Amino acid sequence: MKFRNLILKNIFRNKSRSILAVIGIAIGVAAVVGLGLITDDLTQSTESALTAGAADFSVINSTNSPSGSGGGGGFGNDQLINQAAVGQIQQVKGVSSAVGELRTSTNLGNSTSSNSSSSSGFGANFRSMTNIIGIDSSDLSMDDIAITNGTAFSNANQVIIGQDAAQRLNKTVGSTITISNKTFTVSGIYETGNFMDDRGIVMSLPALQNLTGNTGQVSLILVKASNGTDPTALASTIQQNYANDLSTSTSLSGNNRMNNGLQVISSGAWAVSLLAILIGGIIVIVTMMKAVSERTREIGVLRAIGWTQRRILGMIIGEALVLSLIAIVVGLLLAVGIVELISLTHLLRGINPSFSLLLILKGIGVALFLGIIGGIYPAYRASRLSPTEALRYE
């Protein structure tokens, strides 16, 4: 009889306890892999948001960033920029294109537009507010907006809406939508990969300027550096040239918001994963300790017939590792199940879970880690049992 056959037989000795240990390990695997699938997917869409067409940085009214640091990108009590500045920035050496954009947000629920042009950010009422962006249809790529359905707006009566907004408001191409008492037709659905902007509505710049009474004004200027120009250097040049009026943010406000959101999600995922690993670890240790104490006498006998401490250690760790291997399969299946469930509930934008090798390796790593950690202490205790005391054990 081979040693490994003995280990396998021991696994099936107390099935309910083995199942419990497998569940413990699988919880850890499922948490790490399941949450990994979600964060991977979100990260991927962030990366696709930073495509070549997108602007490198944005310029805002300097009074909006008192610290002058240029980060953040919030438009709390926004001052607008005269649209004439767009043409001036376009002339700066190294600028490939400069595009004016007006941003506002409105509560479509009661159809009253908020005229303050306040961007939602992570505001308290961010769920009920819809972002509205005014930008020329030829410049959509600067905001990384890609039409997935229908066409871009071709006149002041048309809008395109983000795929999340479409879902939330139950609109599709050809639907009408009323914003500030004006009715628009939805000409297309867009996607940015940025789950914040995907909740928005985009119309032409003049249309939004008219709607909000901000003729000749923009919230920000999107700037793309020409090839060979360092965007960061360009941003600081503009910052210096217009020190009194404008301020630049080296990364796009939208992307910043997005990255913040992503960070919240991925650190949340980490916390949940760690908790799951902890719980899994405790379950494994407790069940393995029980397996050892139930077999105290037997371990005494094995020592008496000539087994070394190492052999006893190997047997218990071996059992824990076999349980881990089973748990890898169970855990991966569980992870897919959880992700499917989440995407069914529409809690998050449509997720297309795709297993990366790294993620599977992570899952395997967690299982082996839990198996070894969960097995090592009980195994150590078992191997250190005094044979005579083990034999006296009732």
Partner 1 sequence: MNNENIIEIKDLKKTYENGVIKALDGINLEIKKGESISIIGPSGSGKSTLLNMIGALDKADEGHITVAGMDLMQKEDLSKFRLNEIGFVFQLHNLIPNLTVLENVQTPLIETDIPDKKMEERALEILKSVNLTDKINQKPTKLSGGERQRVAIARALVNHPSIILADEPTGALDSKTSDIILELLLDIHKKENVTLIMVTHEHNVAARAHRSIYVLDGKIKEEKINSAS
CB of 374 to ligand ATP, least distance (A): 29
CB of 391 to ligand ATP, least distance (A): 9
By beta-carbon proximity to ligand ATP, the closer residue of 360 and 391 is: 391
Strand 158-162 relative to strand 201-203, pairing: antiparallel
CA distances, 386 to each of 292, 317, 375, 376, 383 (Å): 14, 19, 19, 18, 8
CB of 44 to partner 1, least distance (A): 48
Contact partner, 340, from ligand ATP, partner 1, none, Cβ < 5-8 Å per class: none
By beta-carbon proximity to ligand ATP, the closer residue of 346 and 392 is: 392
Q: Would you say how long the chain is, in residues?
A: 394
How many alpha carbons fall within 13 Å on the CB side of residue 104? 27
Contact partner, 302, from partner 1, ligand ATP, none, Cβ < 5-8 Å per class: partner 1
CB of 26 to partner 1, least distance (A): 24
Under 8 Å between Cβ of 149 and 198: no
By beta-carbon proximity to partner 1, the closer residue of 93 and 310 is: 310
Contact partner, 297, from ligand ATP, partner 1, none, Cβ < 5-8 Å per class: partner 1
Contact partner, 309, from partner 1, ligand ATP, none, Cβ < 5-8 Å per class: partner 1
Contact partner, 261, from partner 1, ligand ATP, none, Cβ < 5-8 Å per class: none
**Site residues, ligand ATP (CB under 6 A):** 388-389, 392
Contact partner, 10, from partner 1, ligand ATP, none, Cβ < 5-8 Å per class: partner 1
Spatial separation of the C-alpha atoms in residues 114 and 106, rounded to whole Å:
5
Under 8 Å between Cβ of 297 and 391: yes
CB of 316 to ligand ATP, least distance (A): 22
By beta-carbon proximity to partner 1, the closer residue of 311 and 346 is: 311
By beta-carbon proximity to partner 1, the closer residue of 9 and 346 is: 9
Helix (H) or strand (E) holding 164: helix 163-169
CB of 29 to partner 1, least distance (A): 27
Under 8 Å between Cβ of 164 and 136: no
Residues 221-254 as b or e (16 or more Cβ within 10 Å = b): bbbbbeeebebeebbebbbeebeeebbbbbbbbb
Rg, C-alpha atoms of the chain: 30
By beta-carbon proximity to partner 1, the closer residue of 124 and 305 is: 305
**Site residues, partner 1 (CB under 8 A):** 1-3, 6, 9-10, 12-13, 297-298, 301-309, 311, 386-388, 391
Strand 95-107 relative to strand 220-225, pairing: antiparallel
By beta-carbon proximity to partner 1, the closer residue of 112 and 308 is: 308
- For ligand ATP, which residue has the nearest CB? 389
Under 8 Å between Cβ of 169 and 177: yes
Q: Burial level of 17, CB count in 10 A (0-12/13-18/19+)?
A: middle
CB of 388 to ligand ATP, least distance (A): 5
